[in-house]
A and B are shown apart, each in its own frame.
Chain A
Amino acid sequence: EVQLVEAGGGLVKPGGSLRLSCAASGFLFSNAWMHWVRQAPGKGLEWVGRIKSKTDGGTTDYVAPVKGRFTISRDDSKDMLYLQMNSLKTEDTAVYYCSTTLLDWGQGTLVTVSS
């Protein structure tokens, strides 16, 4: 059974940083393209970015509002996905989900950016 468990959310001040993690199990993580998707309170879903598998180049892509501030990385030896978020803004407040090929999703972790 595929399991994705996000962690690392919390309250952070504007301009601060936070690193989210996603622990994966139940599938061959190293072969998977992994995504981060977020959902602001009471709002719709927004794709944040993705990282390809290393065999497919391991490259990353991001949505415009987070480019240059967020970085997605992976550790295939630990079956872990990460989202490093810097220069956080109040509009980054959201539940952040990790997903494998947009089929399976974690339960999400809440990030609140507020002074």
Chain B
Amino acid sequence: EIVLTQSPDFQSVPPKEKVTITCRASQSIGRNLFWYQQKPNQSPKLLIKFASQSLSGAPSRFSGSGSGTDFTLTISSLEAEDAATYYCLQSSSLPLIFGGGTKVEIK
């Protein structure tokens, strides 16, 4: 079973600053990595699929990169509405596994 290690667990960042969240897989997963945003009391929302493909409707300040075992979600300029918990998900093999989540707070 693949293990996904997401870091950091928590970030408090001022508006307009850059945010970087990483997700490391215990073995190569190619580009089978998704990034989700979840706000309190809401369902997760898919931001990035297959490591770097943005979803239509996702703000352009969100981008993803990486392949193999190391992946990054970047928020280029943090906005107040980005306060949320972010999760990575690997879909390379079963069981599908989510990272532990990164809570982003606006400082």
Give residues in A with beta carbon < 8 Å to B: 35, 37, 44-47, 50, 61-64, 97, 102-103, 105-108
The answer to whether A45 touches B34 (Cβ under 8 A) is no
The answer to whether B43 touches A47 (Cβ under 8 A) is no
The answer to whether A61 touches B94 (Cβ under 8 A) is yes
Please, which residues of chain B bring their CB within 8 A of the CB of A35?
96
The answer to whether B34 touches A102 (Cβ under 8 A) is yes
Known: A44-B98, A47-B97. A106 touches B87 (CB 8 A): no
Question: B45, B46, B49, B98: which contacts A47 (Cβ < 8 A)?
Answer: B98
The answer to whether B43 touches A108 (Cβ under 8 A) is yes
Bound CA span A61–B99, Å: 20
Give residues in B with beta carbon < 8 Å to A: 34, 36, 38, 43-46, 49, 55, 87, 89, 91, 94-101
The answer to whether B46 touches A107 (Cβ under 8 A) is no
Known: A102-B34, A102-B89. A45 touches B44 (CB 8 A): yes
Please, which residues of chain B bring their CB within 8 A of the CB of A44?
87, 98-101
- Which of chain B's residues has its CB closest to A4's CB? B43
Bound CA span A72–B88, Å: 24
Known: A44-B100, A105-B43. A63 touches B91 (CB 8 A): no
- Which of chain B's residues has its CB closest to A103's CB? B46
Smallest beta-carbon distance B15→chain A, Å: 26
Query: Could you list 17 examples of A-B contacts with CB < 8 Å?
Result: A44-B99, A45-B98, A46-B98, A47-B96, A47-B97, A47-B98, A50-B96, A61-B95, A97-B44, A102-B34, A102-B96, A103-B46, A103-B49, A103-B55, A105-B44, A106-B43, A107-B43
